[in-house]
Amino acid sequence: MDSALLFTLLGTGVMLYLEKVRWFGGRSRISNISIVAYIVMTSMMLMALVCLALEKLVLHAAYIPISVLIMATLLAFFSMTLYRLFIKEFYGMYLKKKQPTKHIVIFGAGEAGRLSKTVLRSQAGSNQKIHAFLDDDVQKEGDNIGGIPVYWGLDHLMSLQQEHGITDLLISIMCISPKRKKDIIEECLRLGIKVSVVPSIDEWVKGGFSVGKIRQIRIEDLLSRPEISLDNPAVFSQISDRVIMVTGAAGSIGSELCRKIISHKPSLLIMVDKAESALYDVEQEFKGGHWKSPIKPVLADIRDTRKMDRIFHEHKPDMVYHAAAYKHVPMMENYPEEAVTSNVLATKNLADLSVLHNVKQFVFVSTDKAVNPSNVMGASKRIAEIYIQALSGYLDVEKGQVTKFAITRFGNVLGSNGSVIPLFKKQIEQGGPVMVTDPDISRYFMTISEACQLILEAGAMSKGSEIFIFDMGEPVKILDLAKKMIQLSDKKVGKDINIVFTGLREGEKLHEELICHSEKLLITHHPKIRLVKMSNIPFNRVNYQIEFFERLLILNSSTDIVRHIKQIVPEYVSNTSRYNVLDRLN
């Protein structure tokens, strides 16, 4: 009997150990009876096997009756169930004492709102109280959901905050317009209420809904327009089973473009970039995915014409998406020769190689800073636009050429490398101050996904020599953006984080534009895509002007280079730059 008791205690110990490993191993913090039963039964079977082995192998071994094992199993089952309940309650009480109370309002009194209430209340250790539902449906006002009143609109939010000290609002509506979401968020920011949203329908269906799926508001949610989504079957048919080349493939836009392209099943995706570590990271991401299309990462500088020619000759791409460029405005003001070699000459060489190797489609990624430019970077991109359009017009005359050219032009891309969003985020994380150049400066914004969709759509829509732009809505004031980012970080402007105005940087202008003075804006089949038409440009003259840069680069004179840029782009007028003197001399 002593041996039986010993084995019973040993079995229970094994069970508790397994339970402890499971509890602290992070697999599941919320227990259920099936987990306990699984652990107990597994332990009992192990003990039975041990007893059987000892009985067969060791003479005079203590025999444990089946009844003892069954009793030990039942005892372990009930003790572990009580143990788990006790730990859960103890842990919940600990969290409640440790965490401050959240006073919550749920916006949305439909099925999503009801489910959100259930999920929030079931969270272990949650120290929160739901005080009200808000909804835009006036017929729901006065209703009661599980003892919680429903109010119409946002008008009651301030009074609820004053009465109950509301700290959080959860937007729990599956289909809500971006404008309405923006209104709700801005009202919460004004009142100092933290905002969260439930996951999208796709996330909800795929992974269920839990507290962990509730996300904080992102700056993209504050765009006053819906995110543009394109679903053109022509994009798939154009990319599928084709050899596709992407330059700048390791950048924020280039890498996302590669992700979208490979989902369309090309026969080969060639990813060209000169950034070794970033290209390696993208390669590892694709190798670890479920993609069936082969990839070919190529470490190369697009300015190396001979190497790029070898790449074209070896892989024979059907389409080229040219996203590689230098894009930092102040940096290019200091190094105009780099802007010329990378943004102008390299683009010219790639376009020429595409014609030479019979590439079917060439898409050039430009910027709104190329429109009536005020800096070297924007002017260099404008020259690249001019050359591509001149070359495309010249090839229309020459029969037998197959390459079609298209240009995409868009504003600042949220979250891209070098954009203002990650810069502000880093400054906020460091405790400030947040640096804003001018209180009146504004920019057009779009998401990385939108930018990549426009690039792919341009390739599918292009008939040659077009510039495509998105309807990006109204420009956003950078000062307002900075304030909202600080508030979304649970900080107060002027108290926790200060905003400092530094003055416009070299070459920077207050407001960007979408079309030049000489261009016309035309509609397309899609209401959010516009087509820019410009006058014909003599190819021979543009080609000679760009080739003349080779001589100027030998002289290594920044002033001479910028003077020649201004001759090619007469609308280029420097702003807050040392090159202003060249405008006064003209």
Please tell me the predicted confidence (pLDDT) of residue 91.
60
Q: Indicate if the pLDDT at residue 7 is higher than 70.
A: no
User: What is the helix (H) or strand (E) element at residue 152, kind and residue range?
Assistant: strand 148-152
Q: Indicate if the pLDDT at residue 24 is higher than 50.
A: no
Q: Which residue in 406, 397, 410 sits closest to 463, CA to CA?
A: 406
Please tell me the predicted confidence (pLDDT) of residue 23.
44
Please tell me the predicted confidence (pLDDT) of residue 131.
86
Q: Indicate if the pLDDT at residue 98 is higher than 80.
A: no
Topology annotation, domain 102-217: Rossmann fold (3.40.50)
Least confident of 25-29, 50-54, 225-229: 25-29
Q: What pLDDT, in 10s, does the model give residues 385-422?
A: 999 989 988 886 555 668 889 898 887 777 676 678 77
Average pLDDT (171-177) is 80
The residue annotated as part of the active site, out of 369, 483, 509, 528, is 369
Please tell me the predicted confidence (pLDDT) of residue 2.
44
The full set of domain ranges for the chain reads 2-98, 102-217, 233-416+445-472+515-581
Average pLDDT (489-508) is 86
Concatenating the DSSP letter of every residue in 41-92 gives: HHHHHHHHHHHHHHHHHSTTPPPPPHHHHHHHHHHHHHHHHHHHHHHHHHHH
| Measured distance CA(275)–CA(283) in Å, rounded | 12
pTM (predicted TM-score): 0.73
- Residue 43 near residue 7 (C-beta atoms within 8 A): no
| Measured distance CA(464)–CA(533) in Å, rounded | 11
**363: helix, coil or strand?**
strand
Please tell me the predicted confidence (pLDDT) of residue 4.
45
Class of domain 233-416+445-472+515-581: alpha beta
Is residue 369 part of the annotated active site? The answer reads: yes
Amino acid at 190: R
Tokens 């009992």 locate to: 44
Q: Indicate if the pLDDT at residue 516 is higher than 80.
A: no
Concatenating the DSSP letter of every residue in 441-478 gives: -EE-EEEHHHHHHHHHHHHHH--SSEEEEE---S-EEH
Least confident of 100-109, 294-303, 456-465, 519-528: 519-528
The segment with the largest mean pLDDT, out of 68-72, 279-283, 423-427, is 279-283
pLDDT bucket at 546, cuts 50 / 70 / 90: very high
Q: Indicate if the pLDDT at residue 38 is higher than 80.
A: no
For residues 440 and 411, which has the higher predicted lDDT (pLDDT)? 440
102-217 and 233-416+445-472+515-581 in the same fold: yes
Q: What is the mean pLDDT of the chain?
A: 79
Q: Indicate if the pLDDT at residue 92 is higher than 70.
A: no
Percentage of the chain with pLDDT > 70?
A: 74
Tokens coding 194? 């933290």
The span from the first CA to the last CA of the chain, in angstroms, equals 108
Average pLDDT (458-470) is 79
Least confident of 225-229, 274-278, 378-382, 403-407: 225-229
| Measured distance CA(44)–CA(419) in Å, rounded | 60
